[in-house]
Protein backbone atom coordinates (compact mmCIF):
# COMPACT_ATOMS: atom_id res chain seq x y z
CA UNK A 1 0.00 0.00 0.00
CA UNK A 2 2.76 2.46 0.91
CA UNK A 3 4.60 1.76 -2.32
CA UNK A 4 1.45 2.19 -4.39
CA UNK A 5 0.60 5.53 -2.81
CA UNK A 6 4.15 6.80 -3.25
CA UNK A 7 4.17 5.68 -6.90
CA UNK A 8 0.97 7.64 -7.49
CA UNK A 9 2.46 10.76 -5.92
CA UNK A 10 5.96 10.40 -7.36
CA UNK A 11 5.90 8.20 -10.48
CA UNK A 12 9.28 9.52 -11.54
CA UNK A 13 11.94 10.86 -9.20
CA UNK A 14 15.28 12.58 -9.52
CA UNK A 15 18.02 13.13 -6.98
CA UNK A 16 17.10 16.41 -5.23
CA UNK A 17 20.75 17.55 -5.29
CA UNK A 18 21.95 19.13 -8.52
CA UNK A 19 24.98 17.35 -9.91
CA UNK A 20 26.79 16.46 -13.12
CA UNK A 21 28.36 13.09 -12.32
CA UNK A 22 29.40 10.81 -9.48
CA UNK A 23 32.02 13.24 -8.19
CA UNK A 24 29.80 16.32 -8.05
CA UNK A 25 27.06 14.20 -6.47
CA UNK A 26 29.52 13.06 -3.81
CA UNK A 27 30.48 16.65 -3.02
CA UNK A 28 26.83 17.72 -2.91
CA UNK A 29 25.87 14.90 -0.57
CA UNK A 30 28.70 15.82 1.81
CA UNK A 31 27.50 19.43 1.78
CA UNK A 32 23.92 18.33 2.55
CA UNK A 33 24.82 17.14 6.06
CA UNK A 34 22.86 19.34 8.50
CA UNK A 35 21.95 21.58 5.56
CA UNK A 36 18.92 21.74 3.27
CA UNK A 37 19.12 20.53 -0.32
CA UNK A 38 17.85 23.94 -1.38
CA UNK A 39 20.84 25.65 0.20
CA UNK A 40 23.26 23.13 -1.29
CA UNK A 41 21.76 23.69 -4.73
CA UNK A 42 22.29 27.43 -4.29
CA UNK A 43 25.95 26.93 -3.42
CA UNK A 44 27.16 24.23 -5.79
CA UNK A 45 26.73 25.93 -9.21
CA UNK A 46 29.45 28.50 -8.46
CA UNK A 47 31.65 25.89 -6.79
CA UNK A 48 31.35 23.44 -9.68
CA UNK A 49 31.90 26.20 -12.22
CA UNK A 50 35.39 26.49 -10.75
CA UNK A 51 35.99 22.92 -9.65
CA UNK A 52 33.94 20.00 -10.90
CA UNK A 53 36.73 17.39 -10.82
CA UNK A 54 39.04 16.17 -8.06
CA UNK A 55 41.99 17.76 -9.84
CA UNK A 56 40.36 21.18 -10.03
CA UNK A 57 39.11 20.92 -6.45
CA UNK A 58 42.57 20.27 -5.08
CA UNK A 59 43.89 23.20 -7.10
CA UNK A 60 41.14 25.37 -5.61
CA UNK A 61 42.30 24.51 -2.10
CA UNK A 62 40.45 24.23 1.21
CA UNK A 63 40.21 27.98 1.89
CA UNK A 64 38.57 28.75 -1.45
CA UNK A 65 36.29 25.75 -1.06
CA UNK A 66 35.25 27.05 2.35
CA UNK A 67 34.43 30.46 0.88
CA UNK A 68 32.08 28.84 -1.62
CA UNK A 69 30.29 26.65 0.93
CA UNK A 70 30.26 28.97 3.97
CA UNK A 71 26.46 29.25 4.04
CA UNK A 72 26.03 25.46 4.24
CA UNK A 73 27.22 25.25 7.82
CA UNK A 74 30.11 23.14 9.15
CA UNK A 75 32.11 24.76 6.36
CA UNK A 76 35.51 24.14 7.96
CA UNK A 77 34.98 20.39 8.30
CA UNK A 78 33.28 20.03 4.94
CA UNK A 79 35.90 22.00 3.04
CA UNK A 80 38.70 19.90 4.53
CA UNK A 81 36.83 16.68 3.78
CA UNK A 82 36.14 17.68 0.17
CA UNK A 83 39.77 18.71 -0.32
CA UNK A 84 41.22 15.59 1.28
CA UNK A 85 38.87 13.15 -0.46
CA UNK A 86 39.68 14.82 -3.78
CA UNK A 87 43.38 14.23 -3.15
CA UNK A 88 42.66 10.62 -2.22
CA UNK A 89 40.58 10.06 -5.34
CA UNK A 90 43.53 11.23 -7.45
CA UNK A 91 46.11 9.22 -5.51
CA UNK A 92 44.20 5.98 -5.04
CA UNK A 93 41.46 5.85 -7.68
CA UNK A 94 42.77 7.59 -10.76
CA UNK A 95 40.59 10.64 -10.11
CA UNK A 96 37.41 8.57 -10.28
CA UNK A 97 34.78 7.94 -7.61
CA UNK A 98 35.03 4.26 -6.61
CA UNK A 99 31.98 2.05 -6.98
CA UNK A 100 32.26 0.05 -3.77
CA UNK A 101 30.93 0.74 -0.30
CA UNK A 102 34.26 -0.02 1.35
CA UNK A 103 36.27 2.31 -0.87
CA UNK A 104 33.72 5.09 -0.53
CA UNK A 105 33.54 4.80 3.25
CA UNK A 106 37.32 5.04 3.43
CA UNK A 107 37.15 8.55 1.95
CA UNK A 108 37.28 11.54 4.35
CA UNK A 109 33.82 12.78 5.30
CA UNK A 110 32.03 9.81 3.76
CA UNK A 111 29.91 7.64 6.03
CA UNK A 112 27.58 4.78 5.23
CA UNK A 113 24.61 6.96 4.30
CA UNK A 114 26.65 9.07 1.89
CA UNK A 115 28.20 5.95 0.36
CA UNK A 116 24.73 4.46 -0.03
CA UNK A 117 23.48 7.52 -1.91
CA UNK A 118 26.44 7.35 -4.31
CA UNK A 119 26.10 3.62 -4.87
CA UNK A 120 22.37 3.95 -5.51
CA UNK A 121 22.17 7.13 -7.55
CA UNK A 122 25.53 7.23 -9.33
CA UNK A 123 26.08 3.52 -9.95
CA UNK A 124 22.60 2.01 -9.78
CA UNK A 125 23.52 -0.47 -7.05
CA UNK A 126 20.55 -1.25 -4.75
CA UNK A 127 21.00 0.68 -1.50
CA UNK A 128 18.71 2.26 1.06
CA UNK A 129 20.17 5.45 2.54
CA UNK A 130 18.25 6.42 5.67
CA UNK A 131 18.05 10.11 6.54
CA UNK A 132 15.99 11.83 9.24
CA UNK A 133 12.88 11.96 7.03
CA UNK A 134 12.96 8.22 6.28
CA UNK A 135 13.78 7.35 9.89
CA UNK A 136 10.80 9.38 11.08
CA UNK A 137 8.38 7.89 8.56
CA UNK A 138 9.49 4.33 9.24
CA UNK A 139 8.80 4.89 12.94
CA UNK A 140 5.44 6.56 12.37
CA UNK A 141 4.33 3.81 10.03
CA UNK A 142 5.62 1.06 12.35
CA UNK A 143 7.99 -0.33 9.74
CA UNK A 144 10.71 -0.42 12.40
CA UNK A 145 11.06 0.24 16.11
CA UNK A 146 13.57 2.89 15.09
CA UNK A 147 16.26 2.42 17.74
CA UNK A 148 18.79 3.80 15.25
CA UNK A 149 19.16 4.47 11.54
CA UNK A 150 21.22 1.30 11.05
CA UNK A 151 18.37 -0.83 12.30
CA UNK A 152 15.83 1.19 10.33
CA UNK A 153 17.83 0.57 7.15
CA UNK A 154 17.99 -3.17 7.84
CA UNK A 155 14.25 -3.37 8.57
CA UNK A 156 13.29 -1.44 5.43
CA UNK A 157 15.51 -3.67 3.31
CA UNK A 158 13.62 -6.69 4.63
CA UNK A 159 10.24 -5.14 3.84
CA UNK A 160 10.90 -3.94 0.30
CA UNK A 161 12.58 -5.76 -2.62
CA UNK A 162 16.02 -4.49 -3.70
CA UNK A 163 14.75 -3.33 -7.09
CA UNK A 164 12.60 -0.75 -5.27
CA UNK A 165 15.20 0.65 -2.87
CA UNK A 166 16.84 3.33 -5.03
CA UNK A 167 13.59 4.93 -6.11
CA UNK A 168 11.79 4.36 -2.83
CA UNK A 169 14.31 6.15 -0.65
CA UNK A 170 13.87 9.33 -2.72
CA UNK A 171 10.08 8.94 -2.72
CA UNK A 172 10.14 8.69 1.07
CA UNK A 173 12.33 11.77 1.40
CA UNK A 174 9.98 13.78 -0.85
CA UNK A 175 6.90 12.55 0.99
CA UNK A 176 8.45 13.28 4.37
CA UNK A 177 9.19 16.84 3.34
CA UNK A 178 5.90 17.58 1.62
CA UNK A 179 3.29 15.62 3.56
CA UNK A 180 4.65 14.05 6.72
CA UNK A 181 7.20 16.48 8.10
CA UNK A 182 8.14 16.73 11.76
CA UNK A 183 5.89 19.76 12.21
CA UNK A 184 3.35 19.16 9.45
CA UNK A 185 2.15 15.76 10.62
CA UNK A 186 2.04 14.07 14.00
CA UNK A 187 1.17 10.62 12.71
CA UNK A 188 -2.54 11.36 12.28
CA UNK A 189 -2.71 14.01 9.54
CA UNK A 190 -1.06 13.04 6.24
CA UNK A 191 -2.74 10.70 3.71
CA UNK A 192 -0.53 7.68 4.40
CA UNK A 193 -0.75 8.05 8.18
CA UNK A 194 -4.53 8.29 7.96
CA UNK A 195 -4.74 5.31 5.61
CA UNK A 196 -2.47 3.07 7.65
CA UNK A 197 -3.83 4.06 11.07
CA UNK A 198 -7.44 5.27 10.71
CA UNK A 199 -8.07 4.62 14.40
CA UNK A 200 -4.99 6.41 15.70
CA UNK A 201 -6.29 9.24 17.88
CA UNK A 202 -3.19 10.48 19.68
CA UNK A 203 -0.10 12.00 18.08
CA UNK A 204 2.71 9.54 17.46
CA UNK A 205 5.95 11.00 18.76
CA UNK A 206 9.10 9.73 17.09
CA UNK A 207 12.56 9.41 18.56
CA UNK A 208 15.57 10.62 16.61
131 is catalytic: yes
Report the alpha-carbon distance of residue 25 to residue 9 in Å, rounded. 25
* Active-site option among 131, 157, 167, 186: 131
113 is catalytic: yes
Report the alpha-carbon distance of residue 31 to residue 168 in Å, rounded. 22
Report the alpha-carbon distance of residue 185 to residue 141 in Å, rounded. 12
Q: In 92-128, which positions are buried (b, 16+ CB within 10 angstroms) versus exposed (e)?
A: eeeeebbeebebbeebebbebbbbbbbbbbbeebebb
- Active-site positions? 113, 131
Amino acid sequence: MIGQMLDQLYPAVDVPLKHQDAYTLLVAVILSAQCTDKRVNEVTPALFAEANTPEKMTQLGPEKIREHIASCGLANNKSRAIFELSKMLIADHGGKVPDSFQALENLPGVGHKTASVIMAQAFGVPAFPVDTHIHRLARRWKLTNGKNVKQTEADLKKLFPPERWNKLHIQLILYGREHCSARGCDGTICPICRTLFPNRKKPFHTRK
